[in-house]
Amino acid sequence: MKPKFAMYWAASCGGCEIAVLNIDAKILDLDANFDVAFWPAAMDAKYKDLDAMADGSILVTLFNGSIRTAENEHLAKTLRRKSKILVAFGSCANEGCIPGLANLSSRESMLETAYGGPSTENPAQLRPQPTSQVPEGALTLPPVQPVVRTLDQVVEVDYHMPGCPPESHQIAAVVDLLVQVVQGRAELPPKGSVIGAGESTVCDECPRERNVKHLTQLRRIQELGPLDTTLCLLEQGLMCTGPATRSGCDARCPRVGAPCIGCYGVAPEALDQGARMMTAIASAIDAKEPEAIDGILDGIPDPAGTFYKFSLAHSLLRGGRAAHRETETP
């Protein structure tokens, strides 16, 4: 009997699932060596089928998505019980990713923006309800929790695989490793390891020329003229979060002229991606007077959203006060 494999999506966009399918023919190795026990995006499966499985009967679960609703939390706990190896797969599960940016706001204002905001067509002003009566009976929605959490803030996690989404060549390498482990040809890395990523920063993989930085301006890409194709983007005044971001993506974005936005998460050995980026940017700014410094910093209109785009829910403060307030005990 083949060992069982599962993949689940919690609060996520589905990009992680597509990234897994992007490993091309390698997916056949996965199928040849594993029984897919539960993978809602790829095959029909019901929660009751999962509940019926014995604890520990799934060898490996790739869990993507952050914990936004009570349903996400329930599935995280269920899959933890059912799985020998639980992998936090992708940025959402590891660091909260884009869903985690909701931690800058209260749950109410987040729902208000989503259902009543200027980009929403909702003439009846409908809002999601925990229970709705329909002719067929009562329909329920899982409660939205006040703070987005990462998988390892809810259950113990065995391995972390970062990226939004993880790069396909990295997924292929991890699938290869899993197959080798199952065939007894390789050992698993130590529990808690980051897998499918590098051990340095994006800058170390970036082919652009780097010099001592003297930033005199920070601009958005459309405000800058044609960019130098070989020089560091940060040195050209473009906010690039490569210095604070873990390597593993082969610097795909800066390589083609788009700044790194930080999707591989906090760099190794650093605690907080945003703090790391603040350090890097502040060090590189070429100004000494408060007014001049502020003038350059005005080029970063949204510091929290820029520095914590992918890692707010796993940062030291994990979000803003508006989101945390609801969790406070009086």
Binding residues among 241-300 for other proteins as defined by CB under 8 A: 270-272, 274-276, 278-279, 281-283, 285, 287-288, 290, 293-294, 297, 300
- The per-residue b/e assignment along 292-324, b for 16 or more CB within 10 angstroms, e otherwise, is eeeebeebbeeebebbbbbbbbbbeebbbebbe
Closer of 209 and 298 to other proteins (Cβ): 298
Residue 148 DSSP label: E
Stretch that binds other proteins, among 19-27, 54-62, 134-142, 232-240 (CB under 8 A): 54-62
What is the distance between the alpha carbons of residues 179 and 146, in angstroms, rounded to a whole number? Answer: 39
Contact code string over 127-166 relative to other proteins, x by CB under 8 A: ----------------------x--xxxxxxx--------
Nearest distance, CB of residue 302 and other proteins, angstroms: 7
What is the distance between the alpha carbons of residues 257 and 208, in angstroms, rounded to a whole number? Answer: 10
Rounded to a whole number of angstroms, the distance between the first and last alpha carbons of the chain is: 53
- Name every residue whose Cβ is closer than 8 Å to that of residue 314 and which is 6 or more positions away in sequence: 94, 95, 96, 100, 150, 152, 153, 265, 266
Residues 64 and 92: beta-carbon distance below 8 Å: yes
Confirm or reject binding of residue 99 to other proteins (CB under 8 A): no
Q: What SS3 class is residue 238?
A: strand
Closer of 15 and 243 to other proteins (Cβ): 243
The neighbour count for residue 156, using CB atoms within 10 Å, is 10
What is the distance between the alpha carbons of residues 38 and 311, in angstroms, rounded to a whole number? Answer: 28
Stretch that binds other proteins, among 44-52, 136-144, 193-201, 310-318 (CB under 8 A): 310-318
Confirm or reject binding of residue 13 to other proteins (CB under 8 A): no
Nearest distance, CB of residue 198 and other proteins, angstroms: 21
Contact code string over 164-183 relative to other proteins, x by CB under 8 A: -----------------xx-
Of 46, 117, 143, 191, which lies in the binding site for other proteins, with binding defined by CB under 8 A? 191
Q: What SS3 class is residue 244?
A: helix
Q: Which spans of this chain sit near other proteins (rule: CB under 8 A)?
A: 1-3, 55-57, 59, 77, 80-86, 104, 149, 152-158, 181-182, 184, 188, 191, 270-272, 274-276, 278-279, 281-283, 285, 287-288, 290, 293-294, 297, 300, 302-305, 307, 315-322, 324, 327-328
